Amino acid sequence: MSIQRTLSIIKPDATRRNLTRVINEHLKRSGLKVVAQKRLLLTKAQAAKFYEVHAERPFFSELCEYMTSGQVVVQVLQAEDAVSLNRKVMGATNPEEAEAGSIRAEYALNITENSVHGSDSLENARIEIAFFFAEFELVV
């Protein structure tokens, strides 16, 4: 195990309901430290690029539409084993399958409006962090 960084996104369904602070408290309680954070309104092109691995999936256009429907908060989280820790803290993609007490079980509305995104591997974490943050923004 080692100290890792992972990318987190608080999605439009959560920012619309003013859940940013509550979700940040949940992350902190779970041992994930927010080391960088900014609030953005993504363009369609940015959302499509970020989620390009899903471009052939049937939900892709709905996903891009949704991710540009409101503000997002992009974050870099740091912890021991941060990638898998954050996946556990978020819960399953589909909130109906998410473990009780996880962020998605508590706050997600459905499989699209599922409140948070988290990198699924260390390699993708590096790619996703670089997508949103310059090295000089990561000061810890």
| Residues at the site binding ligand CMP, with contacts judged by CB under 6 A | 54, 59, 63, 93, 111-112, 114, 117
Sign of CA dihedral 87, 82, 106, 60: negative
- Pick from 72, 23, 90, 34: nearest CA to 63: 72
- Pick from 78, 11, 8: nearest CA to 42: 11
- Pick from 107, 123, 120: nearest CA to 24: 107
* Least spacing, CB of residue 101 vs ligand CMP, in Å: 18
Instruction: Point out the catalytic residue in the list 10, 117, 125, 133.
Output: 117
* Least spacing, CB of residue 112 vs ligand CMP, in Å: 4
* Least spacing, CB of residue 17 vs ligand CMP, in Å: 16
Q: Which is nearer to ligand CMP, 8 or 135 (CB)?
A: 8
Residue number of the CB closest to ligand CMP reads 117
Tell me the catalytic residues. 117
